[in-house]
Structure 1
Amino acid sequence: MLIGEVARRSGVSTRMLRHYDALGLVRPTGRTVGGYREYSAEDVRRIFHVESLRSLGLSLKQIGRALEDPAFTPSALVGDLIRWTEDRLERERELLERLRAVDASAPSGWHDVLRIVELMQGLDSASAARRQQAVLARPEGVAVPAELLVRAVLAESDPNVAGALRWALVRSGGDVVAALAAGVRSEDAGVRRRAVRAIAAMSEAPGATAVLADVLGDPDPTVRGHAALTLGRRGVTGAVPALVGMVVEGAHDVDAAEVLGTLSRDHGCADRVLTALAGELAAPNADSATRIRLTQALVELPGTTAREALRRLAHDEDRAVALVASAFVTVLDERCREDRV
């Protein structure tokens, strides 16, 4: 077959067939009397082999080696191709996100586009100082897509930069809670922690309370601790079990005890809190340090019932617990006498 017919049947242009010939990839077996290239059936099969390998992303040089070198094994090359393709797809995904971020900012001109690109470059910097500056130096009136800030805050490990990003999220005024909720569902505990901190910073936003309530049972103590403290400060009594758990675990137990005290005074759940604390005090596996923390938490509760519980603990078999409880009873009694005076 002459080159034109081969091109029609194979779908490979005559120009590309001549290029294959020049590279030695597919050389026609014969020539006509007039000097035209003449391809055999075997030549055509080789053309299809070349095209098949090109479809996998192999370069023409790699294809030449694959077809000529018996020692050229496909497994290693295919593995390399997979890695190269994954890298390319990741770069294209990042480009797509950048384009979407620019589009979401609704730029009115190229000046706005360049500002968003500058912000994205700043957020991608390896320098924490530059990332923070990129957030704080954002000019007034420049719209920044909330999704861009959400992605940045979920990935940020530097506490100062993370704080600046949370501040920017609050200022953005967009509905970012739903976007942050995806981070709360991440398998990465670090991402979940950053998401909860960001939601806690905008706890009054619509939907924030529901998202935080969903993570009260999170396996990570930091995640559920942030959620419990935020909800408790907002008067959500459903946070009581998690707050008591924080006292037991010794994770921000002082903060948790203070919030429990506020809930007991202002939201009518003193009996519930007292019952929960007493239950943990009586737990057979509670060690001395845990029981001391629980005893200290009782001091934050209002009313005589909590004080009576402390009086009983002043005679506890554990001397350390008894001493702590006795000291608190003395302090509380003195306060009562001063109040009466």
Structure 2
Amino acid sequence: MTVTGQDTDAIQALQGLEDSRASTRLRAALAVGTTPDPRFVAKLIERCAVEPEFFVRDMLTWALTRHPVSMTLPALLRETRSERAQARSQALHTLSKIGDRQAWPAVTRELLSDADEEVARSAWRASVLLVPEGEESALAAVLATQFGRGGRETQLSLSRALVELGEVIVPALLAATTAPDPRMRAHALATQRLLRDPDVGFESAIEEAKRVVALGGSGQEGR
């Protein structure tokens, strides 16, 4: 069998994705995305599950978006069910970048409440981009069950996802402001503030909400 220059380039790129040097893996991912080839898809997805460097993972995702959806979507959907947390997280992230709503059924309630925070955050971001018209309120109700979870970055990710859905989140927010858990109430109040005033900083909104909760309020007085 004759090996062409293109075949040689493909082999080098695939080998580069597993190089010990992050800079080499980055260049390889860039090369793969610049010249898409069906032979690259499986390796790109496989690498997403184990790549330790964020900036390389981001380039791997970009490279996948350069390939036909008909080739990437089935494999990415399988990855959302992987036992490896990074595989699930990166698959969801890539699906959000591709933006094909055929992927919506894969964004399950289990993923939206995944025990791994990176997976959950990726699921939140993907869900608001892929949710079909008319299902936003139901999604908001599921997302609201995650109020109070994690640290500042995780809480900010959830608030941003909810705010992106718009006014349909109001009933879910109101319900959460009366939750027994003070962390949930404070987070819901902060998100409510962000919905009303997108320019307010999350840190300011969450600290104000904590004061309201500490004083026994729900933030609804006089509204």
Tell me which interval the TM-score lies in, with the shorter structure as reference length.
Answer: 0.7 to 0.9
Deviation string for 1:74-110 (max 9, x for gaps)?
Answer: xxxxxxxxxxxxxxxxxxxxxxxxxxxxxxxxx9843
User: In the alignment, what sits opposite 2:200?
Assistant: none
Does residue 112 of structure 1 match 2:14? no
Check 1:213–1:135 CA distance in 2 against 1; reply closer, same or farther (3 A cut). Answer: same
Distance 2:177 2:57 in 1: 38
Distance 1:205 1:183 in 2: 16
Distance 2:88 2:141 in 1: 20
Query: Which of 64, 73, 98 is the equivalent residue of 1:169?
Result: 64
Three-state SS of the structure 1 residue aligned to 2:44 is helix
Aligned residues: percent identity? 20
Write the mapping of 1:208-219 to structure 2, written as runs, cut at 5 A.
208-213=103-108, 215-219=111-115
Instruction: Calculate the TM-score normalised by the size of structure 1.
Output: 0.50
Check 1:126–1:138 CA distance in 2 against 1; reply closer, same or farther (3 A cut). Answer: same
Distance 2:212 2:46 in 1: 52
**Contact 1:228–1:242 (CA under 8 A) maintained in structure 2:** no
Check 1:207–1:292 CA distance in 2 against 1; reply closer, same or farther (3 A cut). Answer: same
Does residue 281 of structure 1 match 2:181? no
Which runs of 5 or more structure 1 residues have no equivalent in the other structure? 1-106, 303-312, 334-341
Does residue 247 of structure 1 match 2:147? yes
Distance 1:234 1:144 in 2: 25
Distance 2:158 2:33 in 1: 39
Does residue 186 of structure 1 match 2:86? no
Distance 1:281 1:113 in 2: 59
Amino acid at match of 1:151: E
Does residue 205 of structure 1 match 2:107? no
Deviation string for 1:224-260 (max 9, x for gaps)?
Answer: 3322222224455142134323432145333433443
Does residue 298 of structure 1 match 2:192? yes
Query: Which of 52, 56, 63 is the equivalent residue of 1:157?
Result: 52
Check 1:153–1:261 CA distance in 2 against 1; reply closer, same or farther (3 A cut). Answer: closer
Distance 1:142 1:317 in 2: 53
Check 1:139–1:149 CA distance in 2 against 1; reply closer, same or farther (3 A cut). Answer: closer
- Runs of 4+ residues deviating >4 angstroms: 138-142
**Contact 1:184–1:193 (CA under 8 A) maintained in structure 2:** yes
Check 1:108–1:292 CA distance in 2 against 1; reply closer, same or farther (3 A cut). Answer: farther
Distance 2:31 2:12 in 1: 11
**Contact 2:92–2:126 (CA under 8 A) maintained in structure 1:** no
Deviation string for 1:48-89 (max 9, x for gaps)?
Answer: xxxxxxxxxxxxxxxxxxxxxxxxxxxxxxxxxxxxxxxxxx
Check 1:282–1:249 CA distance in 2 against 1; reply closer, same or farther (3 A cut). Answer: same
Distance 1:139 1:201 in 2: 14
Deviation string for 1:146-196 (max 9, x for gaps)?
Answer: 222211222212101101110100012242121112221111222212222
Deviation string for 1:252-285 (max 9, x for gaps)?
Answer: 33343344334243xxx3xxx334333333233x
Distance 1:159 1:109 in 2: 34
Check 1:111–1:142 CA distance in 2 against 1; reply closer, same or farther (3 A cut). Answer: farther
Check 1:292–1:218 CA distance in 2 against 1; reply closer, same or farther (3 A cut). Answer: closer
Distance 1:111 1:317 in 2: 66
Instruction: Calculate the TM-score normalised by the size of structure 2.
Output: 0.73
Distance 1:142 1:279 in 2: 48
Distance 1:158 1:122 in 2: 15
**Contact 1:112–1:142 (CA under 8 A) maintained in structure 2:** no
What is the Cα deviation at residue 216 of structure 1?
2.8
Q: What root-mean-square deviation, in Å, do the aligned CA atoms of Structure 1 and Structure 2 show?
A: 3.4
User: In the alignment, what sits opposite 1:129?
Assistant: 23
Distance 2:68 2:170 in 1: 40
Three-state SS of the structure 2 residue aligned to 1:165 is helix
Check 1:291–1:185 CA distance in 2 against 1; reply closer, same or farther (3 A cut). Answer: same
Distance 2:32 2:82 in 1: 29
User: In the alignment, what sits opposite 1:261?
Assistant: 163
**Contact 1:192–1:223 (CA under 8 A) maintained in structure 2:** yes
**Contact 1:197–1:226 (CA under 8 A) maintained in structure 2:** yes
Aligned residues: 201
Check 1:173–1:216 CA distance in 2 against 1; reply closer, same or farther (3 A cut). Answer: same
| Structure having the higher Rg | 1
Deviation string for 1:106-150 (max 9, x for gaps)?
Answer: x98432221121112111111111111112134855625222221
